[in-house]
Structure 1
Amino acid sequence: MISFMSNPLRLALSALTISLLLAQSALAQPFTVRAKSAILGDVDSGAILFEQNADEVAAPASLTKVMTLYILYEAITNGDLTLDSTMMVSKKAWKMKGSKTFVKVGDRVRVEDLIRGIAVQSGNDASIVVAEHIAGSEAGFADLMNAKAMQLGMSQSHFANASGFPAPNHYTTARDMLKLSSAFVANFPDLERYSQLKEFTYAGITQRNRNKLLWRDPTITGLKTGHTDSAGYCLIATNEKDGQRLASVIMGAESSRVREEEALRLLQYGNRTFETLRLFEAGQPVRSLRVWKGAEQTVNGVIRDSVVVTIPRKQRGSLEVGLRYDDPIVAPVPQYAQLGSLVVKLGSESVVERPVVAATAVEEGGLVTQLLDAVRLQLGW
């Protein structure tokens, strides 16, 4: 047993004392990726499982469209738009070069078709239609993109347009793209399906999804390809296998074949080497704790945020889960007052620490209860 803290704090081992080792940091970098930069992460735990030049600034090409879809999906989730809403195609959108959905100037296009056009066909024209409708102009939409990037912690990114068309002040990093794609997968599970479509027909023109991993591996769930001369070949590839959701980012590969092979290698490495454990869900009781001088003798301590860890499959034996809390807990106890912390430890190191709060309020007890508990506390009963 590991002693987390000395008195007056007490440690109560959880029923979920799992002997598993969270030791990614102890693993050597297993291989080199054939790309300028790359990263692999677990969507749910946030664990970084592999990285190579992950903070190197680079052009994102059409990986940009993940942010465009993110803002569009937020508008749908918030009720500002529906899949059946329509958007007008401007002359600017119609004339846009590069990959196209082939929307026609003056037409009103359904949001769902624009989503497919962006997610499957990587339509630059469809991206501008969305940007102009939501923000009035592509420049205004870029402001929204940068504000969202800041909110998501993408500190090394700046967006100048909605499509990823090359621009001097349009840049990101593999790490920032991982943050974006992880939030995308976590926040829009019902809309992620559009990135899994293998083809889409619009205006009588059928185009296939450029993410060929969709044909190679049934666990692949998306997400987006990209390519320009300056960016090279890029790919955000996500998968879900055995309850584990991973995201890999490849930037600056020399060909579409290489980006696919390296993204798949990262995902398979993650699936093979690591597993994801959901120790506690948000709101789940951790333990019933004694309350002194209260109208109730106990209160449930619950976790406000989910506790998810990623562990190496071959190293099990050092992970312990415990509750560290102040003793005694004396009424009144407000609802959601912090009672202590759930601590996940690996050896002598704290891996995860999450607040444990009171599920309900506990008011002060009557005079007799308070007097009796005061005596008990004094005598150490």
Structure 2
Amino acid sequence: MKLLWFSLVASFFLSGTAVAAPEKAALDVRAASYILGDIDTGMVMYDKDSDKRVPPASLTKIMTLFLIYDALARGDLTLEQALPVSERAWRTPGSKTFVRVGDQIRVNDLIQGIAVQSGNDACVVVAEHLAGSEEGFSDLMNAKAKELGMVNSHFVNPTGLPHPEHYTSARDLFLLASALMNRFPQYSHFVKEKQYTFSGIQQYNRNRLLWRDPSITGLKTGHTREAGFCMVATSDKDGQRLAAVIMGAPSSKIREEEALRLLRQGNRLFETVRIYEPGAVIRSLRVWKGAEEFVDATVDQPAVVTIPRKQRSSLEIGMVYEEPMVGPLVKGQKIGAVIVKLKDQELLNRPVVAAKDIPSGGFVGNFVDTIRLYFGW
């Protein structure tokens, strides 16, 4: 194994997932639990009781939207497809899109009804179409939660109506919100819409931060007596995308104030540093006993870290790889790793792969390389 360290300036490109984070500072937030993190790196900047299981209220609908977007991406739904409204959907209590029994509603309208109006009836319409029933849809929700690593979540309905076995955590909602924003950017406009009119009724987005700060990109509010006032707020500013989760705040005003304070604090004190884009060549490496003498070592995933501001010059970027490297090699084969450190703390470890196939060399070339390796030439 050989380890090379690069200068930061020479290595600076552009965007991965950090495996560690600088030490977090304490922050007093008026909420039962909360979390602030970087959507692109997964780094948590501040949190309190973020693994505590709590009722999510309408933040449940983030998972409902995730499954709708997932179905759209697979081709199981289209935005123009019309879905029927059952009597059960029409009778669902709570906030409404005001769909009517027997109507055929476009998926696009149902998404707007969920994202803007927080319509419980619209959630049930989609759930019944995708899974046959709310119960079947809940199974899909729990399977997706497991896939996303949401270890403190369990869903029994697509709406967030109270139930003893319906719960999540601030950290799980951060994971869900990050996955939603990263996987489905083509649908991100829905949660930024400030108002929506359906059946002649105009309703406004309950996320009032959309009016207060131009960097706000979503995402969802929620409230029940059991859950208190909850919110997932996301922002995009100075190339940094953050998500703040507020659970159990005492009022809608306080949840908004605390979410915005967290987002601004994170943006002021931390920065997202984009190191390598997918496909970036890290270095050309010598290949022995190959049809070609060199192979480009590249990353097939973005590499990005979150660090405290004014510490960029302390970042170290290195690559560890096999030496000697012997052919043949296959395109995409792991041949090393990029390591990013901040003051001796490893922030990221990203695989490095061969950019192309390197077939085995011919008899003569292989023989010569064997001699060179043996004598260290």
TM-score tier by shorter-chain length is over 0.9
Letter in 2 for 1:141: F
Partner of 2:282, secondary structure, is: strand
What is the alpha-carbon distance in structure 1 between the residues aligned to residue 345 and residue 234 of structure 2?
Answer: 30
Residue 28 of structure 1 is matched in structure 2 by 25
What is the alpha-carbon distance in structure 1 between the residues aligned to residue 330 and residue 22 of structure 2?
Answer: 39
| Structure 1 unaligned spans of 5+ | 1-7
**Mapping of 1:361-376 within 5 angstroms?**
361-376=357-372
2:234 is the counterpart of 1:238: yes
Match of 2:224 among 220, 224, 228: 228
| Structure 2 unaligned spans of 5+ | 14-18
Answer yes or no: is the 8 Å Cα contact 2:3–2:318 preserved in 1.
no
Q: Shift in Å at residue 171 of structure 1?
A: 0.1
Matched-pair identity in %: 55
What is the alpha-carbon distance in structure 2 between the residues aligned to residue 147 and residue 60 of structure 1?
Answer: 18
Answer yes or no: is the 8 Å Cα contact 1:93–1:125 preserved in 2.
yes
Answer yes or no: is the 8 Å Cα contact 1:128–1:162 preserved in 2.
yes
**Mapping of 1:50-199 within 5 angstroms?**
50-199=46-195
* TM-score with structure 2 setting the length: 0.95
* TM-score with structure 1 setting the length: 0.94
Answer yes or no: is the 8 Å Cα contact 1:199–1:206 preserved in 2.
yes
Residue 331 of structure 2 is matched in structure 1 by 335
What is the alpha-carbon distance in structure 2 between the residues aligned to residue 270 and residue 12 of structure 1?
Answer: 29
Answer yes or no: is the 8 Å Cα contact 2:154–2:167 preserved in 1.
yes
Answer yes or no: is the 8 Å Cα contact 2:95–2:117 preserved in 1.
yes
Partner of 1:317, secondary structure, is: helix
Letter in 2 for 1:16: S
What is the alpha-carbon distance in structure 1 between the residues aligned to residue 3 and residue 120 of structure 2?
Answer: 59
Residue 249 of structure 2 is matched in structure 1 by 253
- Structure 1's consecutive aligned runs of 4 or more residues displaced over 4 angstroms after TM superposition are none
Answer yes or no: is the 8 Å Cα contact 2:12–2:276 preserved in 1.
no
What is the alpha-carbon distance in structure 1 between the residues aligned to residue 22 and residue 343 of structure 2?
Answer: 13
Letter in 2 for 1:309: V
What is the alpha-carbon distance in structure 1 between the residues aligned to residue 275 and residue 226 of structure 2?
Answer: 43
Q: Would you say how many aligned residue pairs link Structure 1 and Structure 2?
A: 370
Q: Shift in Å at residue 127 of structure 1?
A: 0.6
Q: Shift in Å at residue 27 of structure 1?
A: 4.4
Partner of 2:331, secondary structure, is: coil
Residue 13 of structure 1 is matched in structure 2 by 6
What is the alpha-carbon distance in structure 1 between the residues aligned to residue 123 and residue 20 of structure 2?
Answer: 41
What is the alpha-carbon distance in structure 1 between the residues aligned to residue 79 and residue 330 of structure 2?
Answer: 43
What is the alpha-carbon distance in structure 2 between the residues aligned to residue 52 and residue 283 of structure 1?
Answer: 38
Q: Shift in Å at residue 278 of structure 1?
A: 1.5
Partner of 1:156, secondary structure, is: coil
Partner of 1:292, secondary structure, is: coil
Letter in 2 for 1:120: V
Deviations 1:66-101 (A, max 9, x none): 100110011111111111101111111111111001
Partner of 2:54, secondary structure, is: coil
Higher mean displacement: 341-350 or 126-135:
341-350
Letter in 2 for 1:321: I
Residue 16 of structure 2 is matched in structure 1 by none
What is the alpha-carbon distance in structure 1 between the residues aligned to residue 49 and residue 115 of structure 2?
Answer: 27
Q: Shift in Å at residue 12 of structure 1?
A: 4.7
Deviations 1:310-367 (A, max 9, x none): 1111334321001111100011122222111111122333221111111111112122
What is the alpha-carbon distance in structure 1 between the residues aligned to residue 74 and residue 12 of structure 2?
Answer: 40
Partner of 1:368, secondary structure, is: helix
What is the alpha-carbon distance in structure 2 between the residues aligned to residue 182 and residue 156 of structure 1?
Answer: 16
Residue 262 of structure 1 is matched in structure 2 by 258
2:286 is the counterpart of 1:293: no
Answer yes or no: is the 8 Å Cα contact 1:94–1:104 preserved in 2.
yes
Q: Shift in Å at residue 17 of structure 1?
A: 6.6
Q: Shift in Å at residue 284 of structure 1?
A: 2.0
Partner of 2:113, secondary structure, is: helix
Residue 4 of structure 1 is matched in structure 2 by none
Letter in 1 for 2:6: L
Q: Shift in Å at residue 24 of structure 1?
A: 5.3
Aligned-residue CA RMSD in angstroms? 1.5
What is the alpha-carbon distance in structure 1 between the residues aligned to residue 84 and residue 340 of structure 2?
Answer: 52
